Chains A and B, each alone.
Chain A
Amino acid sequence: MTSNPADEIRIQTEGDIVLTRRVVREAATKAGFGNTDVTRIVTASSELARNIFKYAGGGVMRWRSLEDNGRRGIELLFVDQGPGIPDIELAMQEGYSTGDGLGMGLSGAKRLMDELEIQSMVGQGTTITLKKWRQT
Chain B
Amino acid sequence: MSDDNISVIKVRDLLMVTMPPDPDDPTVTALQEKVLNAMERYEAKGVVLDISSVETLDSFFARTVSETAQMVTLMGGRTIIAGMRPAVAVTATEIGLSLGNIETALNVDRALDMVAAKSRPKKLR
Of all chain B residues, the one with the shortest Cβ separation from A49 is B58
> Of A15, A39, A102, which one neighbours B56 at CB under 8 angstroms?
A39
The answer to whether A65 has its CB under 8 Å from any CB of chain B is: no
> Which residues from chain B contact A81 at a C-beta distance below 8 Å?
none
B59 touches A47 (CB 8 A): yes
Contacts A38-B87, A39-B88 given: A22-B59 contact, CB under 8 Å?
no
CA of A35 to CA of B85 in the docked complex: distance in angstroms? 11
Interface residues on B, range: 20 to 34
* The one of B22, B25, B26, B59 that contacts A104, using a Cβ cutoff of 8 Å: B59
Do B25 and A35 have beta carbons less than 8 Å apart? no
- On A, residues with C-beta under 8 Å from B are 14-15, 17-18, 21-22, 25, 35-36, 38-40, 42-43, 46-47, 50, 94, 101-102, 104-105, 107-109, 111-112
- 5 more A-B residue pairs beyond the given contacts A14-B26, A39-B87, A46-B56, with a C-beta to C-beta distance below 8 A: A15-B24, A25-B55, A36-B91, A104-B59, A107-B96
Q: Could you give 5 example pairs across A and B, Cβ below 8 Å?
A: A14-B25, A17-B25, A36-B86, A47-B59, A108-B95
Q: Which residues of B contact A (CB under 8 A)?
A: 22-26, 55-60, 62-63, 85-88, 90-91, 94-97
